[in-house]
Amino acid sequence: MTTTFAFLLGALAMAALVWLIQRRFTFLAQSPEDYATGPSFDLREHLNGAIACDGVIYGPTGRVSSRFTAEFDARWEGNEGRMTERFFYDSGTVQDREWHLSLGAGGAITARAEDLVGPGQGVQSGSGVRLAYRIRLPESAGGHVLDVVDWMYLLENGTIVNRSQFRKFGIKVAELVATMRPLAAEERREEAA
């Protein structure tokens, strides 16, 4: 066996091992069946009304690159939902987004937003919701199109923990971790004052 052939064989084996590990033992390996138990996550119930959100975005090196708070308002008519979002970043930037969500049979979710490239597809199962989509970043951020896998996990107290990974050519370039919780009537009155 030549040295070159041995090197190529070793590189191929390493690539296969990395692929296997990513598909079986990492964030991407999660499946809706993993969350079949626990509190029942129903988007119409748990992403409804006024919602407070707090989170961080990690850059490609794993360091926090941005912090944010956000105010969401979600409304449902049957299986059709609209969620408006206003993000306040630590840089002083304010971003407005709007999601249109449709629920189908078996917990299927279709998501649309102005900055998505095509519709997002997902599923709600038990205490988890998975959504996958392609997002186009604003021109100020390079205008890149990223592949996103978004997981939301419902806690027993109604808080939702959101973890999203953003990839370009299969390489993770950012990660978002956030919490979402319904705003109590008292909190809404305080904010309005």
Strand, coil or helix: what is 169? coil
168 shares a domain with 120: yes
62 shares a domain with 136: yes
60 shares a domain with 5: no
133 shares a domain with 58: yes
26 shares a domain with 97: no
116 shares a domain with 188: yes
Tokens representing 119 are 């519709």
> CA 49, CA 120: separation in Å to the nearest integer?
22
164 shares a domain with 123: yes
At 47, give phi and psi (nearest 5°). Answer: -115, 70
pLDDT tens figures, 150-162: 999 999 899 999 9
pLDDT tens figures, 84-93: 999 999 999 9
> CA 23, CA 18: separation in Å to the nearest integer?
9
Q: Are 164 and 176 in contact (CB under 8 A)?
A: yes
93 shares a domain with 45: yes
pLDDT tens figures, 112-149: 999 999 999 999 989 999 999 999 988 887 889 999 99
- Tokens 């590990």 sit at which residue? 21
186 shares a domain with 126: yes
Q: Are 62 and 82 in contact (CB under 8 A)?
A: no
Q: What total of structural domains would you count in the chain?
A: 2
pTM: 0.80
CATH of the domain at 136: 2.40.128.20
> CA 188, CA 193: separation in Å to the nearest integer?
9
56 shares a domain with 141: yes
Query: What's the gap between Cα 50 and its chain centre?
Result: 19
First vs last Cα of the chain: how many Å apart?
A: 77
Distances (CA, A) of 146 to 19, 133, 161, 165, 172: 19, 8, 21, 10, 9
CB atoms under 10 Å from CB of 152, counted, come to: 23
pLDDT tens figures, 59-101: 999 999 999 999 999 999 999 999 999 999 999 999 999 999 9
68 shares a domain with 125: yes
111 shares a domain with 23: no
> CA 154, CA 90: separation in Å to the nearest integer?
26
Range of the domain at 54: 34-192
